Each structure stands twice: as C-alpha cells, then as structure tokens.
Chain A
C-alpha cells in the first residue's frame, strides 16, 4: 500500500526554564530539555487506521500536535502525500491543512461556545475554499447529516448539545474539507460507554465510505483493537513495538506491551489474567538513561538492556525494540 503520511525520526524537545534549569546548564554545559518525542518513525498507508497507544506522558499527543503544527518539531521529517511538511513555509503548509485534519479529546473545550454547530462546521470552508454561502451551507448540512446531526440540531450551540453530539460536531468540522488523513486524539475517552460505542461505529463507517486514513491516538486498548489495522506502542518518547492489530494483541513481543495488555480489565469474570506487571512509574522525560528506557521497571531486565536497543522485525510486519525478543 502506498503510504500517505510518513514520519521519520521525529523529535520534539521542550527546553526547561527557570533557576534550576539555569543551574544545570552551568553545571553540565548543556541546557536541560524534556524529551517528549525522542525519535519516532511510522507511516500511515492510504485507507488504513494506525493506532498509536501509550500511557499519559508517553508523547503520543505531542506527535499528533506536531503533525498539525501546534508544536514545532525539533528535528525529523514529516512527509504527507509526497510533500515534505517540516520545511514548508506557513502559507504552503496552510494549503495542505484541508487534507490533514484533527479531532481533539475534549469535545467541549475544542468547540467555540459562541458559534452554532452549523457555523462551526462551515468555518474551515470559509478558510480553505472559495465556496459561496449557499454552497457552503449545502456542504455543511450534508456533513452534519452524515455524522448523525439532523437539521434540528444544526442551529444549536455547544451548551445545548450532549457530549456525544459535541464530538460529532468536531468530527463533522474535521471532515468538511474532505481530508485524506484524520488525526483522532483520544476522541472517545471523554464519552460515556454507550456514546463511545456509537462514535466508534460512526468513525469506522466514515472511514470505509470515504476511504479515509486515521491516526488514532488512544490509551483505550479495547477501542484501538476495534478500529485499528496496525498499532504502534509508545513509551517515554519512543515507539517500542509496532505490529498488525491481531499480532500485537495476541502475541505482544515487548514487555511494555505485554504489561499494558495485562493491565486492561477484561469484561469477563472467567477471562484468564496475565499476572505480568511492571514496577514503579513512568520516569521523567528529562533524565532518560541510555539503553532500554523500560529497563528500571522491567521484570525481565538483563545487563544487556543497558546497551542501545535494536529495533528488530520479530515476525512479518511486527517490530519490537527489545534485546530479549
């Protein structure tokens, strides 16, 4: 499959400020940085859903934000549809943006409380197209209809909509410019169980109908299993494992993936539980030790884990960064 979006060795480092940072700069010679994303590479093929999973603080949202230029990458390449995005000027980049849209986690905070659903969805058309008012309205209503918001809801303001309906407005707003890639940053985690199921089904239906590609970012592994065709697992700024969805869930290779899967409670009292657990908590992304980043927490750690970790193919299309696989 031709890849639509390719991210290569992406790094996003945030400099630290203040007295403590200044003191460390004086002492160590180099200014301290938060290595939020520390060399991430992946690609999303046309028409596929890549799941990007990991716990809070692993850098998955920063990856998403750097794709839409909400944060500036420190280094690395982002190729989208054959164009290198990271070196584009703002004007040229903005011409790409209709093809690359994003849906945010918080359906309330990401909507303008003073615009009706219809005006909010029409906004990207005003920015990116030359459509007249009547055409804009026609397109807006068609998209709102498609996400399940009828004409009676289109004139409502965010506070008059439920959480699920608000997220539908967000999805409609992202879809209205006919994008090729949709970046979904935890689109269901603020929703209730039954609403979550409906938004998941809606996303899958839209993807199939329009041949969309999704970068689906989530910590909810069950949802990822349902939507994604391939999954990449992030830990402390790097991807530690990547595999087709079935392989990843049935035969996780990396200890971190295994621990993550073991921690998800399965809605079945008879399901077998893997007792595999990691010790401690995710360390600070400021002082990352060399070697495997999971080393200090991993029950399988060996002396070799202090060496730089190879990213190997352990089965067809299944990659893992671990000395022990």
Chain B
C-alpha cells in the first residue's frame, strides 16, 4: 500500500513567558492509501496540534521545531505558503469537533458547498450547485434541494457534521483529518457519522486520520492506531493488537480505564495525570505515571521499536521484556 502522508520526528513548540512548551515531541507515524488511522490520547496529548501541524496551520506563538511531513513526495514543512494553499482544503481537508461554528451562519448551506466547486474546480454556478446537491445527498441529508436553501442554525448537530463532511470531501482529498468528529453528538447520531466516514472513505478513496479520545470509536472505525501521550507517540499497532496485546504501559492503562456496555468490568483509572509540557524533561513523559519506571526512563527517550509486524512501541521496559502482557 502506498503511503499518503508520513510524519517523521515532528516537533511543535509554543513559546511562553516561562519557557518552551513542547506540545509535540518527535512524533512519527504514517497513513496509507484507503486506510483509517486513529490518533488517540487524553486531552493535552498533542493529537490536535499534530493535525494542525499537518495542515501547517499552527498559529503563533507555536511553531514547527523539527521533523518532516511527507505528502505526495513533498515535505510540507518546507513548502511556501502559496504552494500550501493548493494542498490545504484540496488534497488534505479537515472536519472539526464543532461543525456549527465551522459553518458560515450568514450563507445558505448549499451555497457554502457550491463555493468549493467554483473555487477549486472552476465550475460554473449552476454546475457547482448541482454538484453541491449531489454531495449533500451523498452524506445522507434528506431532501437536499430544500435543505440546501437553509442556514446552519436550522440544522441539528449531526446534520451540521454531515455538511462539514460533504464540504471536506467535495474536492476529493487524498487525506481527511477528522478531529473528534463525534464528540458532542448523541450516541446514535455519532454512530451514523462514523458509518458515513467509513463508507465514504471507501467510496472516495480518501484516507482518514481520525483523532479521538474514545477507544470505542477507535475499535469500531480504525484499522491502525497511534497512541499519543504528552506529545510523544508511544505505540503504533493494528487495531486488534492494540486491544488484544497492548504493549506500552500507558496503552494498557488506557484500555483498562474505560467502562463498557456489553459486560461488567473492573475499571482502573490511568495513574497520575498528564505532566506539564513546560520545559519538559528529556526522557519518556510517561515515566512519572509508569509502574515500570527505571532511572534511564527519566534521562532518555525510548525510540519506537518494532515488536511484531506493524506493531511498534517506545518503551525500555518492553525492550527488556520486563513488561509482561496483561
């Protein structure tokens, strides 16, 4: 399978009065053709910053402090702004957690979708309108002709997210970044949005980077998963291995910390809390919370090492074989 985007040792820092906040610390992972990759972690783990970095939309005082983002054979980190404009929203698009605020409240929904076709495909007004209706129908909006004349406030949260998906897919992107697309939606609405993403990924050939903190969403939607903790990617695995044979102590704690609906379980919270990223020490950032910690974890950062096909872990305890499977 071809790689669509490869993130290589990416670092993002935010300058503050008290020092540098390293929100992403040497993250590496890739997304391949037609694949849905999950990026999971607690709040403050750097998932959204990573996504924003892929689009090169990090705002000041944040900046890329290192690494490469390879897309279509080019390093996005080195591209000038006018080249980025031809990629952003065209070849890589994004949907956010708050679809309603991402839509323009003063323009009808149909016009917002149609504009994309005028702007990016150079179609005439009537053609783009036809395409817009097709897109709205594709994402499952009933009566698209009538709904296209309405405004964002007349749409429910789930319907707004469908419009966002229609807009994101209108330009046939290679990569769709979905940042917590179902947070804030009701369970049944969320389930249908996920079904839609899965279907459309296959139909349009777009790969999806799905950012979420919900392991349930990961289990039902993704093929591979990268787990982030405090700005570091600690484990990358196929979805089944991640739940069956989680290797990193953080992943294991995360899997054990969630209640589930299909059977009664004992729940154990992840110990400690996400450490401060201000002038963070050089080593593994999970060290302060880890039951298997040793001296070198504080001083050195473990590299991602392959432990099985497609399954890589960044942990000294796993390298030494001290971490026994749960």
Which chain A residues have a beta carbon within 8 Å of chain B's beta carbons? 55-56, 162, 164, 192-195, 197-198, 200-201, 219, 221-223, 225-226, 246, 249, 259-271, 273, 277-278, 281
Instruction: Give A267 to B191 CA distance when docked, in angstroms.
Output: 13
* CB < 8 Å neighbour of A265 from B219, B268, B270: B219
The yes or no answer to B215 lying at the interface (CB within 8 A) is: yes
Q: List residues of chain B with CB within 8 A of the CB of A56.
A: 186
Q: List residues of chain B with CB within 8 A of the CB of A266.
A: 216, 219-220, 260-262
Q: List residues of chain B with CB within 8 A of the CB of A271.
A: 219, 262
A267 touches B219 (CB 8 A): yes
Instruction: Give A261 to B43 CA distance when docked, in angstroms.
Output: 26
Instruction: Give A277 to B196 CA distance when docked, in angstroms.
Output: 14
B258 touches A193 (CB 8 A): yes
A194 touches B219 (CB 8 A): no
Instruction: Give A222 to B262 CA distance when docked, in angstroms.
Output: 8
A221 touches B261 (CB 8 A): yes
* Nearest 6 CB-CB pairings of A with B: A265-B216, A197-B269, A263-B191, A194-B270, A267-B215, A222-B259
In the complex, 11 of the A-B residue pairs with CB atoms within 8 angstroms, ordered by the A residue number, are A55-B187, A192-B42, A194-B42, A194-B269, A195-B273, A200-B259, A221-B261, A222-B259, A265-B190, A265-B194, A265-B217
Give 1 or 0 for each of B37-57: 1 = CB within 8 Å of chain A CB.
Answer: 000001100000000000000
A268 touches B273 (CB 8 A): no
Q: List residues of chain A with CB within 8 A of the CB of B261.
A: 221-222, 225, 249, 261, 264, 266
Q: List residues of chain A with CB within 8 A of the CB of B269.
A: 194-195, 197-198, 201
B213 touches A193 (CB 8 A): yes
Q: Smallest CB–CB gap between B8 and chain A, Å?
A: 28
Instruction: Give A245 to B219 CA distance when docked, in angstroms.
Output: 24
Q: List residues of chain A with CB within 8 A of the CB of B188.
A: 55, 259-260, 263, 277-278
What's the interface size class on B, roughly?
35 or more
Q: List residues of chain B with CB within 8 A of the CB of A164.
A: 273
| Tally of A-B Cβ pairs under 8 angstroms | 115
Q: List residues of chain A with CB within 8 A of the CB of B43.
A: 192
| Contact flag A197-B187 (CB < 8 Å), given A222-B260, A266-B262, A277-B192 | no
A263 touches B156 (CB 8 A): no
Instruction: Give A190 to B119 CA distance when docked, in angstroms.
Output: 38
Q: List residues of chain A with CB within 8 A of the CB of B267.
A: 197, 200-201, 226
Give 1 or 0 for each of B207-251: 1 = CB within 8 Å of chain A CB.
Answer: 000000111111111000000000000000001100100000000
Instruction: Give A98 to B7 CA distance when docked, in angstroms.
Output: 56
Q: List residues of chain A with CB within 8 A of the CB of B259.
A: 197, 200, 222-223, 225-226
Chain B residue, CB-CB nearest to A162: B273
Chain A residue, CB-CB nearest to B192: A277
Q: List residues of chain B with CB within 8 A of the CB of A219.
A: 186-187
Chain A residue, CB-CB nearest to B195: A277
- Which of the listed residues B158, B194, B220 has the most CB atoms from chain A within 10 Å of its own CB? B220
Instruction: Give A221 to B263 CA distance when docked, in angstroms.
Output: 12
Taking A194-B257, A265-B221, A269-B243 as given, write out 15 further A-B residue pairs in contact, using a Cβ cutoff of 8 Å, ordered by the A residue number.
A193-B214, A193-B258, A197-B267, A197-B270, A201-B269, A221-B187, A221-B261, A226-B259, A246-B264, A260-B188, A263-B187, A265-B214, A266-B219, A266-B220, A267-B219
Q: Smallest CB–CB gap between A254 and chain B, Å?
A: 14
Q: Smallest CB–CB gap between B228 and chain A, Å?
A: 13
Instruction: Give A197 to B156 CA distance when docked, in angstroms.
Output: 30
Instruction: Give A318 to B243 CA distance when docked, in angstroms.
Output: 34
Q: List residues of chain A with CB within 8 A of the CB of B156.
A: 281
CB proximity to A under 8 Å, residues B258-284: 258-262, 264, 267-270, 273
A55 touches B240 (CB 8 A): no
Q: List residues of chain B with CB within 8 A of the CB of A269.
A: 219-220, 239-240, 243
Instruction: Give A198 to B264 CA distance when docked, in angstroms.
Output: 17
B240 touches A264 (CB 8 A): no
Chain B residue, CB-CB nearest to A54: B186
Q: Smallest CB–CB gap between A228 and chain B, Å?
A: 11
- Which of the listed residues B190, B213, B255, B269 has the most CB atoms from chain A within 10 Å of its own CB? B269
- Which of the listed residues B43, B190, B259, B267 has the most CB atoms from chain A within 10 Å of its own CB? B259
Instruction: Give A168 to B326 CA distance when docked, in angstroms.
Output: 31
Instruction: Give A15 to B19 CA distance when docked, in angstroms.
Output: 55
- Which of the listed residues A198, A221, A263 has the most CB atoms from chain B within 10 Å of its own CB? A263
Q: Smallest CB–CB gap between A285 and chain B, Å?
A: 14
Q: List residues of chain A with CB within 8 A of the CB of B169.
A: none
B257 touches A193 (CB 8 A): yes
Give 1 or 0 for each of B288-324: 1 = CB within 8 Å of chain A CB.
Answer: 0000000000000000000000000000000000000
Q: Smallest CB–CB gap between B199 and chain A, Å?
A: 14
The yes or no answer to B254 lying at the interface (CB within 8 A) is: yes
B258 touches A267 (CB 8 A): yes
Q: List residues of chain A with CB within 8 A of the CB of B192.
A: 277
Q: Smallest CB–CB gap between B52 and chain A, Å?
A: 19
Q: List residues of chain A with CB within 8 A of the CB of B239.
A: 269
A267 touches B158 (CB 8 A): no
Q: Smallest CB–CB gap between A221 and chain B, Å?
A: 5
Chain A residue, CB-CB nearest to B42: A192
B257 touches A264 (CB 8 A): no
Instruction: Give A195 to B274 CA distance when docked, in angstroms.
Output: 11
* CB < 8 Å neighbour of A55 from B186, B221, B254: B186
Q: List residues of chain B with CB within 8 A of the CB of A262.
A: 191
Instruction: Give A194 to B256 CA distance when docked, in angstroms.
Output: 10
Chain B residue, CB-CB nearest to A273: B220
B258 touches A263 (CB 8 A): no
B273 touches A264 (CB 8 A): no
A267 touches B42 (CB 8 A): no
CB proximity to A under 8 Å, residues B56-96: none
